[in-house]
Amino acid sequence: MDTDYWIAADKEHCWHPFTRQSEWADSEPLVLVDGEGVWLTDSEGRKYIDGNASIWTNIHGHKHPVINEAIKAQLDKVAHTSYLGFSNPRASELAEKLCGYFAKDTLNRVFFSDDGSTAVECAVKMAIQYRFQTGAPERTEFIAFDQAYHGDTMGAASLGGVGAFFDRFKKFGFPVTHLSGLGELITLNKDQIAKTAAVIIEPLVQGVNQIRPWPEGMLAEIRRWCDEHQVHLILDEVMTGFGRTGTMFACQREQVVPDFLCLAKGLTGGYLPLAATMVQSQVYDAFLGDADRAFYYGHSYTANQLGCAAALANLSIFDQEQTLLKLPEKVELLKGLLADLADRHPMIYEVRQCGMVVGVELRGANGKAFDVSPRVGEKICLLARDHGLLTRAILDTIVLLPPLSITADEIRQMCEALGSTLTDWTKKNLPSH
């Protein structure tokens, strides 16, 4: 079997996420077959920097020996056992480890699931059931934010603010009010607040909204507002968790502890599907008692032993390699290189950065946004492959979100690849002056 075979079989039988399948038939997809560190290799032997950490999941690089060995060791025991009515060592250890990142008697319970969408789905269903079981059945609505993204399952998607993902399904989702920011939140009327179960937000920075950081201090203000009005706070840290913003969790930047914390993507270091919804003790306590108070929700691979083993190894590497201590220098290097790049490339309208999460917004002459139909950002990402860089664009914002293990030299290579790509595109597509 070779590249031609794999591509032919793909085009004949596969259906890709977020992909215009009618155009896929005429594309030349890369078949990725190997990886090491921040590098990926395709079936033709070409190497690329994994500039978006394999859709924001990889933390310590591909083929990390610690995670590899942990998975192999677990395979020698058992790959998966049911978590419904049973326990397993790795899940117990992982839950204890996650709770240890927060003060005692705060986020001290963990509900495992499969991915970011299900982590959020668990939180919102728990938030509603909690209200029914604590004498506030009228509190069944949610507050979210414009252009937010919280996953693709029906409930989680209904909380998102991106119309293209959910407009056609609106009537099937949770009742939600989308706000532009803190100002609209603090001016909500009493009737609206009285119906609200929880506020959900991506802390510090919105991902799918072209990497847009929130104002400093906003998260802490939302926490205070939620406390004042007895509204739960759900933090979607599917993208921001596990060091992406400089601290283990983004909420720790503003010393905020939510009522629900949703984790996935980097939980296993980008190796295996696994998610966690962490909850405060008073939430958990409301589900104790008779059988009808239980949380009837779960998945076949909940707390699967392989995933939990990978997650434990992933978390151990943070300590072994002092990952967080090394981040500030990398963040500053990336910031400086991108500032220099912006000075040299007039296409760069703005660089938005929160830790190792970066969006490079591209625009045309005089800062005018490109028309949507040419899909400039998408084409530039395709061109970047010729310079050894893999990433994706959100509209015309190029996302750079590499594994945290990326070295200083690799950061330079990544920025040079983007710069060379922009130069090539400019020569081919923009008139010279």
Residues making up the binding site: 116-117, 149, 236, 265, 298-300, 392
Is 274 exposed, middle or buried, given 0-12, 13-18 or 19+ CB atoms closer than 10 A?
Answer: buried
Give the residue numbers of the binding site for substrate: 149, 265, 298, 392
Rounded distance between C-alpha atoms, residue 31 and residue 44, angstroms: 8
Of 390, 383, 382, 389, nearest to 413 by C-alpha is: 389
DSSP string covering 165-179, please?
Answer: HHGGGGGGS--EEEE
Of 73, 113, 117, 423, nearest to 299 by C-alpha is: 113
- Do 245 and 207 meet the contact criterion of CB atoms below 8 Å apart? no
Cα 358–Cα 360–Cα 365 angle in degrees, nearest 5? 165
**Residue bearing tokens 């119309």:** 163
Q: What 3-state DSSP class applies to 276?
A: strand
b/e map of 313-326 (b: 16 or more CB within 10 Å)?
bbbebbeeeebeee
Rounded distance between C-alpha atoms, residue 128 and residue 198, angstroms: 9
* CA-only gyration radius of the chain, Å: 22
- In the chain the first and final C-alpha atoms are separated, in Å, by 49
b/e map of 54-76 (b: 16 or more CB within 10 Å)?
bbbbbbbbbebebbeebbeebee
- Do 112 and 302 meet the contact criterion of CB atoms below 8 Å apart? yes
Tokens of 79: 């790959």
- Amino acid at residue number 235: L
Of 73, 78, 68, nearest to 271 by C-alpha is: 68
Q: Is the dihedral of CA 370, 373, 377, 382 positive or negative?
A: negative
Give the residue numbers of the binding site for pyridoxal 5'-phosphate: 116-117, 236, 299-300
- Do 305 and 88 meet the contact criterion of CB atoms below 8 Å apart? yes
Q: Residue 99: CA atoms inside 13 Å, Cβ hemisphere, count?
A: 18
Q: Residue 299: CA atoms inside 13 Å, Cβ hemisphere, count?
A: 19
